[in-house]
Amino acid sequence: NAGVTQTPKFRILKIGQSMTLQCTQDMNHNYMYWYRQDPGMGLKLIYYSVGAGITDKGEVPNGYNVSRSTTEDFPLRLELAAPSQTSVYFCASSFQGAYHSGNTIYFGEGSWLTVV
Amino acid sequence: AQSVTQLDSQVPVFEEAPVELRCNYSSSVSVYLFWYVQYPNQGLQLLLKYLSGSTLVKGINGFEAEFNKSQTSFHLRKPSVHISDTAEYFCAVIDIAGNNRKLIWGLGTSLAVNP
């Protein structure tokens, strides 16, 4: 079972460039999430989705966009990359709403993004 | 607002010694509590969680945690650690009293197990 797979693992972007972090899960989970992890700070929720066609903002959505056209895929788009977006990004999923039901969240291995 | 404090940023310990990683949260309202582990260059993985019931929760890899409502704590323990337990450990909490729920993460505790 692959679980949650995200690509690329590493990427260096120049300021102003755009890119998409890909995320796919094979567990048929309805809920998917994007987090960022910065040194000295806890994980912060960027966007989440409760099912195909439905997305919503998390705590730190500015500078990002998402889409959820299928249950499996939840790409994160960075428009006009800025140094403040240098971070480690984690895609995650859960069977039901982890925040309301306490369901386990399954994480991908992370994507290290540097904006220079 | 809810907050999570992991009292130790780094915990060095020798192999086969016991370890306790401390976690306190700020609000004593009804909560869900979690411990996740992040091995080097990997994503986070659930160790254990408290949703309700027994305050002593057993997880994977021999870890356990005790929910103490009066002290608003959820400390993680293992009686004998292995080199392979070297990782970053994150405590997280959800206030379940309202509808606007957030998962609040601690900053992590780096456990280094030395031979």
**Range with the largest mean pLDDT of A35-49, B11-25, B101-115:** B11-25
Q: How many CB pairs under 8 A join A and B?
A: 47
How many other β-carbons are positioned within 10 Å of the β-carbon of residue A71? 19
Judged by CB atoms closer than 8 Å, whether chains meet at A105 and B107 is answered as no
Q: B37: closest CA among B93, B97, B86, B83?
A: B86
Query: Which tokens hold the place of A40?
Result: 């000295």
Q: What is the pLDDT of residues B68-97, one digit of tens each?
A: 999 999 999 999 999 999 999 999 998 887
Mean pLDDT to the nearest integer, A93-112: 88
pLDDT over threshold 70, residue A1: no
Residue with tokens 């659930």: B46
Residues of B with CB under 8 A from a CB of A: 4, 32, 41-46, 49, 51, 90, 92, 94, 96, 101-108
Residue A98: pLDDT band with limits 50, 70, 90: confident
Q: Cα separation of B8 and B32, whole Å?
A: 21
pLDDT of residue B28: 67
**Of B44, B51, B67, which to mutate for an interface test with A (greatest number of A Cβ within 10 Å)?**
B44
Interval B9-41: pLDDT, tens:
999 999 999 999 999 999 767 899 999 999 988
Confidence band, pLDDT 50/70/90 cuts, at residue B98: confident
Between CA B43 and CA A115 the distance in angstroms is 21
Question: What is the model's pLDDT at position A102?
Answer: 83
Burial B74-105 (b: 16+ CB within 10 A, else e): bbbebeebeeebbbbbbbbbbbbeeeebebbb
Domains along chain B? 4-114 (2.60.40.10)
- Residue A71's identity, in one-letter code, is T
Percentage above 70 pLDDT, chain A: 99
Tell me the C-alpha distance between B35 and B64, whole Å: 10
Contact B113, B85 (CB under 8 A): yes
Q: How far apart are CA A38 and CA B111, in angstroms?
A: 19
CB A3, CB A24: distance < 8 Å: no
CATH number at residue A14: 2.60.40.10
Would you state the structure tokens that stand for residue B51, as one six-digit string? 């949703």
For chain A, how many structural domains are there in total? Answer: 1
Q: How many degrees, rounded to 5, is the angle at CA A32 between CA A27 and CA A34?
A: 130
User: For position B1, what pLDDT does the model report?
Assistant: 79
Question: Which range marks the domain in which residue A20 is found?
Answer: 4-115
